[in-house]
Structure 1
Amino acid sequence: MKITVIGAGHVGATAAHRLAEMQLATEVVLLDIVEGIPQGKALDMFESGPVGLFDTRILGTNDYSDTANSDIVLITAGMARKPGMSREDLLMKNANIVKQVTDQVMTYSDNPIIIMVSNPLDVMTHVSYVRSGLPKERVIGMAGVLDSARFRSFIAEELDVSMQDINAFVLGGHGDSMVPVVKYTNVAGIPLTELLPQERIDALVERTRKGGAEIVNHLKDGSAYYAPAASAVEMIEAIVRDRKRILPCSVQLDGQYGLNKVFIGVPVKLGRNGLEEIIEIDLDQTAREALQQSAAIVETNCNNLSSVLA
């Protein structure tokens, strides 16, 4: 198994190190356009192998030919958000970056599975899907895993219980229009609505929607990377080990939830072949309408990229 990480910034480097430590590949390639950065970080990671007890080969490079025959490509390249900047503000700049990255990836790898992390996530997944020409099962966006992790962590903190006992789904676009589904949120099987009053649940939902911005506001110059990297690696681990995990990911829908030809976060089964099944759960009217509104925002942004995708 060969896994390439595009972008040696905080998210990419953290993900590459985690992939190596978990020994999910015999070779991890870390690529960036800045000379010296991927080489230095990759060497530093490799030298941690005797302590971290892994034998994964890690190559840092600026040359896409080194990514040849990758099984999985994790794309983290792009500009990071700054305070006051929405994910949509990144639209045109990152669309051009993701377009160029995808074109280069496909020059050297025939049939990779692409995992998208760059923002705005759902739109960038669409860009990569169009440019790659890959089947929709092999282009997947990391969004709901991260958003659900944030929701779960906030619930665990509120209730003072283990995070391991929290189950939650956050669907929709990766942004302010995301849809935390309280109906399917429980603590060791106990519905969240039996443990917290509605006003506290509403506050946790709102904090989840603003979770990325909360971190950006603290960091001032940069955005989250530990949780995004961990979330992307969880998806890759499900694929590499064929675990058939049910995770909320951004995939192209074809009629599910009343939506067509749009990338949006929904529960899916991930295994060796990438996207193996889209799971359509029963949503109440409020959640279904919120999901459709979220999808409409993604569609509008995708339509604005016609010149980029030409």
Structure 2
Amino acid sequence: MNTNKIGIIGTGFVGMAAAYSLFQQKLANEIVLVDKNLDRAYGEALDLMHGQPLVGRCEVTSGDFSSLKGAGIIVICAGASQSGPDESRLQLLQRNINVFEMIARELDQYAPEAMLLVASNPVDILTHAMQRLSHRPDNLVIGTGTLLDTSRFRTLLASYYDVSPQSIHAYILGEHGDSEVPVWSSAAIAGLAIRGNTINGREYDQEALTGVVTRVRKAAYEIIANKGYTNWAIGLVIAYIIRMVRNNQRSVLPVTVRLNGEYGISDICLSLPTVIGSEGVESIIAPKLDEEELAGIQHSAGTLKDSMNQLV
């Protein structure tokens, strides 16, 4: 897999946050921006590449799908926007599926061996759609999943316990959406379970920690209400996943993958801890869950299945 060349489809807020993160972290020698708005993609590429003397050499160009030939990883941030207040979520989803049909066809022609990283929402359903539409193996099609939710979770827990977020070991799993599941049964700091223990002088407070989960679930709504969109953190998430692939780190990340019997769930894409390396998905790790968490994961799967069943 040639991870020196990375493509980004969609040069909106998320696509360009991803491009900026990749550029600044020097994770590619070449970044190709593809967008139906050719002028915008060209302008974004020109603007970004002028920072090379400050960061390091990285060719940033714009083009069409044929320009993605030879790319090892392609990030999909494209998608239709709501056409008006009367358009339902299901109608919008169906239009996005239609967009993905076109993208899959083009990518199978020009970059059939590339790993695809889906960031468009709803990421779980669109990852499943891309796996179905593309001819490449499922291990090369993953979604950003609940890695962003997990990052938010760890950030808020770190603030509560006054420690570094990197010292928090806790996951949000399931759907990247309202049915996501906090896994308290294995959440820990320095090997000490958060549930029921005093850590760094803070006593266990179930009400306060329930509030943390509520803030995680409402985070995107809050950000969108204030600035109109989310982009910076998901851009960093995309860059982080790509770094794990590029360096074959075999890191365990909560990303969107297709389940094959885990927790009794099959043919549904949602987030579980997944080993990510140079070949994309290496394996899925299904942690032991308590009854409430297991029910939550199964509810997540049911929610996603209901949405998929309504598609044409």
How high is the TM-score relative to the length of structure 1?
A: 0.92
Q: Is the 8 A contact 2:255 2:270 kept in 1?
A: yes
Q: What amino acid is aligned across from residue 208 of structure 1 in structure 2?
A: V
Change in Cα spacing, 1:177 to 1:86, as seen in structure 2 (3 Å) is farther
Deviates more, 1:149-158 or 1:270-279: 149-158
Partner of 2:166: 164
SS, match of residue 78 in structure 2: coil
Q: How does 1:1-310 map to 2 (within 5 A)?
A: 1-52=4-55, 54-61=56-63, 63-79=64-80, 90-193=92-195, 194-195=197-198, 196-219=204-227, 221=228, 223-305=229-311, 307=312
Q: Is the 8 A contact 1:87 1:120 kept in 2?
A: no
Note the C-alpha offset of 1:236.
0.9
Deviates more, 1:119-128 or 1:186-195: 186-195
Q: What amino acid is aligned across from residue 289 of structure 2 in structure 1?
A: L
Q: Distance in 2 between matches of 1:27 and 1:269?
A: 26
Q: Distance in 1 between matches of 2:265 and 2:59?
A: 42
Q: Distance in 2 between matches of 1:272 and 1:35?
A: 31
Q: Distance in 1 between matches of 2:79 and 2:252?
A: 28
Change in Cα spacing, 1:293 to 1:88, as seen in structure 2 (3 Å) is farther
Note the C-alpha offset of 1:229.
1.0
Q: What amino acid is aligned across from residue 66 of structure 2 in structure 1?
A: S
Deviates more, 1:188-197 or 1:129-138: 188-197
Q: Distance in 2 between matches of 1:80 and 1:182?
A: 35
SS, match of residue 187 in structure 2: strand
Structure 2: gaps spanning 5 or more residues:
199-203
Q: Is the 8 A contact 1:90 1:120 kept in 2?
A: no
SS, match of residue 206 in structure 1: helix
When the two chains are superposed, the root-mean-square deviation of aligned CA atoms in Å is 1.9
Deviations 1:105-135 (A, max 9, x none): 2221121111111001100001111111221
Note the C-alpha offset of 1:80.
5.7
Structure 1: gaps spanning 5 or more residues:
none
Q: Distance in 2 between matches of 1:7 and 1:116?
A: 11
Q: What amino acid is aligned across from residue 98 of structure 1 in structure 2?
A: F
Between the two proteins, what is the percent identity of the paired residues? 33
Q: Is the 8 A contact 1:30 1:38 kept in 2?
A: yes
Partner of 2:201: none
Q: Distance in 2 between matches of 1:215 and 1:184?
A: 28
Q: Is the 8 A contact 1:87 1:119 kept in 2?
A: no
SS, match of residue 38 in structure 2: coil
Q: Is the 8 A contact 1:2 1:28 kept in 2?
A: yes
Q: Is the 8 A contact 2:108 2:136 kept in 1?
A: no
Q: Is the 8 A contact 1:74 1:116 kept in 2?
A: yes
Q: Is the 8 A contact 1:147 1:174 kept in 2?
A: yes
Q: Is the 8 A contact 1:253 1:263 kept in 2?
A: yes
How high is the TM-score relative to the length of structure 2?
A: 0.91
Deviates more, 1:161-170 or 1:120-129: 161-170
Note the C-alpha offset of 1:270.
0.2
Change in Cα spacing, 1:86 to 1:188, as seen in structure 2 (3 Å) is farther
